[in-house]
Structure 1
Amino acid sequence: MNEMEPQLRTVHVTRYITPLREGGSMPGLAEADDGFMYVLKFRGAGQGVKALIAELIGGEIARALKLRVPELVFATLDEAFGRTEADEEIQDLLRSSEGLNLALHFLSAAATYDPAVTIVEPMLASQIVWLDALLTNVDRTSRNTNMLWWKNELWLIDHGASLYFHHTWQNWKDQAVRPFAQIANHVLLPQATELETVDKQYRAMLTPEVIRGIVNLIPDVWITSSGDWEETPDEVRNVYFEFLTTRIASSEIFVKAAQDARETLV
């Protein structure tokens, strides 16, 4: 692998601590063999591996853009956890998630970002709005900001609802060049006054080489074991690559949609 390409560590879950009953995915808090705690995202939950792929791609693109995201790791889950869990719902989830999952480093004592308490400065707000418009992330609203305030800094979490084109898959070329209407609900849109500046910066940063390195992180086993695709793993990864590079090259479409939506708010 090229030294410049992103790499994810792999940890092994040693202790399942507790479920985090948030939304439909029901992640869990777990401890791994490196001694750290993680928010574990299960391949057997909700939208399955597609949510993990969206989490992986969204988080690593955010990291490539120098935004703060908790470390993402691959996390292996042993079959023993399903046998020892008393809660039947959790037991089923653990059993269906044996093998390779995804996890985010747990930010201890972090607080959920509250827009009524902390105002994000315009450049950072514009950067996050641009990212979410690129990813078609429907889940960064005032009801559920999916951002944490930790050590006086803003951290982005939970990109699993992004890239919703992959739930239909066949018309991805059309979806790659569509505006993102749901950006009107973005919690940071009122402060996002620097979108044109951010657009120039981020288009230069997200080169095809950067995107290729990120989509290459998608494990073969997530694709071959899910039953969601007829294509080979390389073909599936290439669709994600083409979708993202096409969308970046056409970013003026989603930037204008965000600007238009913002004008209705201010």
Structure 2
Amino acid sequence: MTTPSFNRILLKLSGEVLMGEGEFGIDPATCERVAREIAAAKDAGFELCVVVGGGNIFRGLAGAAKGFDRASADYMGMLATVMNALAMQNALEHIGVDTRVQSAIPMSSVCEPYIRRRAVRHMEKGRVVIFAAGTGNPFFTTDTAAALRAAEMGCDALFKGTSVDGVYDADPKKNPDAKRYSALSFNRVLADDLKVMDASAVALCRDNNIPIVVFNIRSEGNLADALRGDGTSTIVRNNAD
């Protein structure tokens, strides 16, 4: 797959990625590996910001399904993303990458509040900005937060690092004959209800013409490959079909 050249990107990390081989929580070794990949991308000249999920600690929808009030469960999930963001900040700063965490839920003792102009300035100075606490509102996923922040930061693309190497027409973990797409249009994703990101995130990227690149970040080097347009991934963009 050939990916168009990008300069400023938002990297969306699922919380599950930070578990490593575990079933719960944060694996420091995995955080360090991902941090090295982000550092390499920065050294290659990319401006980066990051949104991290919280599914390795608490997922709002799962909590609501078990009886939690949905809004309360979503706020709990947002707090989990702050923990992950601080873990990634620690890993990045440990290898010398200047990093800022901005939270949509103000908590001045541990990180900055989300201020768009300040975040843009951090990126212009070469810092990696990690956005935490989603949008700060319940009923919105971190996928939607990633799309929103990508638009606000003027990003050229949104790279979604996950556990699969692209978008398939069926779950490749359950169906070995599932077909992977190399490129898709936003409208095709929405019409076929393909599980790239939630519908509001896809629509937001479509309306702001921000391509989504889906790749497997669990293997070392895949982020660099995706940024170069090499390796295995799926790009979702306008007029791709």
TM beyond 0.5: no
Question: Structure 1-normalised TM-score?
Answer: 0.26
Give the number of the structure whose residues are more often helix, by fraction: 1
Structure showing greater Rg: 1
Question: Structure 2-normalised TM-score?
Answer: 0.28
